[in-house]
Amino acid sequence: MSAFDNLEKGAATFSEIDILCDLINAEFMMEGILPTYEPNEYGVELESLLDLINRSRLKGPQ
């Protein structure tokens, strides 16, 4: 089962959340920022996705 599947089921471990966040952060750095280092429209969407994924951390350890 993939980290995405586990996240969807609400069963992602902190390690899986870290993997997903690392992937999103890498995408953000490559495609989500303007030359001024402010997020572009896509970057704002990626930031929202990170917020959503990180909500699982607030629920406590799995």
Q: Convert 40-51 to b/e letters by CB count within 10 Å (16 or more is b).
A: eeebeebeeeee
pTM value is: 0.80
Would you kindly state where each structural domain of the chain is located, as residue ranges? 3-58
Residue 25 CB contacts under 8 Å (≥ 6 apart), including other chains: 50
Residue 60 confidence (pLDDT): 60
Q: Going residue by residue through the chain (62 aa), what tens digit of pLDDT does each one get?
A: 688 788 878 788 889 999 999 999 999 999 999 999 999 999 999 999 999 988 877 766 55
Report whether 8 contacts 54 (CB < 8 A). no
